[in-house]
A and B are shown apart, each in its own frame.
Chain A
Amino acid sequence: MSFAEAAEQHLDDVYGYLAWFTGDRGLAEELTAETFERALRLWHRFDPRRGSARTWLCQLARTVALDHFRSERRRSRREQLAASAERIEERFADSLSPELEEALRELTAGEREVIALRVLLDLDAGTAARVLGITPTNCTTRLNRALRKLEEALHVAA
């Protein structure tokens, strides 16, 4: 598979993952582009025997997102921004109910991330765990916690 084919095939997956991870579609677009730029430079390191291109791209996207979070935190410290980050009220997906959208917004980035990988991208526990750098058991635990939190938020909303 060439890089162009992999990019075409998995662009929606990477963008969707980053959109749910960051909760900010505009930011997710920037990070997606950066992910594929980095992926182009590192394509020679991709080994299909070790995993699918989608998993590899998601791992790369995660690294890009974390680098962004870290640099944002350093910037906000330097600038001594006392206020919390501005909440971006964008939809996670067009087909979700408003209640579920709101509940998703209440989750932390880490909780949305595991939902994006396991549910949105439908990765199995082992693959998602590899992207997150944790054990499959830990991954399943995180997912269950996140879903339980969603359920509680929806129950409260009801």
Chain B
Amino acid sequence: MSPRDIRAELSSARVEAPPELRARVRLIAAQAPPPRRLTRRRLTLVLVPVAAAAVVAAAVVLSTRSGPQVRHGEALSTGAIAPKAAAVAPSPTRAQHYEATLRLQVRAIAAAVSSAQRIATSLGGYPVSVHVATGPKAGTADVVLRVPRAHVQSAVAQLSRLGTVVGERLDIQDLQAGLNASDRTIARLQKQLAALRAQPQTDAVKRQIAVLTQRVVTLQREHASTLRRAHFATVRLSLATVAAKHHRHLNVWPWLGGAAAMLVLVLAWRAVRRLRENALLSRP
């Protein structure tokens, strides 16, 4: 039998519903449609996408905020996260590396930059660098200031009044432990030097004295440099006019990743469903 003949014979086949089935279906059709019920399935079909959309929206909103971040180095008591207008107080007894970063929205870049520099100098500090970029509608500026660590809280408070604080970060690292260790090393070496000087000054002894003296001098210079650095805190200002807005660290990857994961799950589910269906239909 040729394929055409097969097809022709199949096409000519007629299948009629038996009379009892027809009567049954007529009875069904004669009924009024049942009232629509809020089934669990229907609720799930509505609620799951709504919940997923809410989660994605929340992730986007949260990722656009950059609240205050504080990192503390070792041997520092944990202070509270700085409120917007004030920084965590520096330690009066221990040397620290102290760095504060403020992101501000301001009305006018030039005025804000001048004011920032004035604030730093009024507190005994100085500007380290200023970078300004202005356009017809918007402007940004990055300013790095050094102010005495003892006045950094006052500096942060005054600087934050230049505009609206949209981001804040604080990094504090203790340096005192290293300084104390250096002091102990210097003391030990000086004790060794005193002992060597009390000995007969042979060439070997003189060479040892020279080496140890050099080490002590180096350590003392490093010590002094660390103390000088610790005396000043660094304040980094990132300014932008309202139109410019800062480069928000919109971390799109988490929610993009989430959406992609959901898409993969849906596709995988559909593929599995299709495979199961084919398996079901592959039997005679």
Contacts and interface: CB of A to CB of B under 8 A. Distances in A.
Interface of A: 3-4, 7-8, 11-12, 15-16, 19-20, 23, 29, 32-33, 36-37, 40-41, 43-44, 66, 69-70, 73, 85, 87, 92-97, 99-100, 105-110, 113, 115, 119-120, 122, 133, 147-148, 150-151, 154-155, 158
A32 B16 CA distance: 12
Contacts of A70: 276, 280
B34 A8 contact: no
A110 B278 contact: yes
Contacts of A97: 9
B15 A154 contact: no
Contacts of A73: 280
A40 B36 CA distance: 11
Contact of A40 (B22, B33, B274, B276): B33
A81 B108 CA distance: 82
Interface stretch (B23-31, B48-56, B134-142, B243-251): B23-31
A152 B268 CA distance: 36
Given A96-B10, A158-B1, 11 more contacts: A7-B28, A12-B14, A19-B15, A29-B18, A32-B25, A36-B29, A40-B34, A70-B280, A97-B9, A133-B274, A151-B2
Q: Is the interface of A mostly helix, strand, loop or mixed?
A: helix
Interface of B: 1-3, 6-7, 9-18, 20-22, 24-26, 28-31, 33-34, 36, 274, 276-278, 280-284
29 contacts: A4-B26, A7-B26, A8-B29, A11-B22, A12-B16, A12-B17, A15-B17, A16-B16, A20-B15, A29-B17, A29-B20, A32-B25, A40-B33, A41-B34, A66-B277, A66-B280, A87-B284, A93-B13, A93-B15, A95-B12, A96-B10, A108-B284, A110-B281, A115-B10, A120-B11, A122-B11, A147-B3, A151-B1, A155-B1
A69 B280 contact: yes
Contacts of B15: 12, 15-16, 19-20, 92-93, 120
A107 B33 CA distance: 38
A105 to B, nearest CB: 7
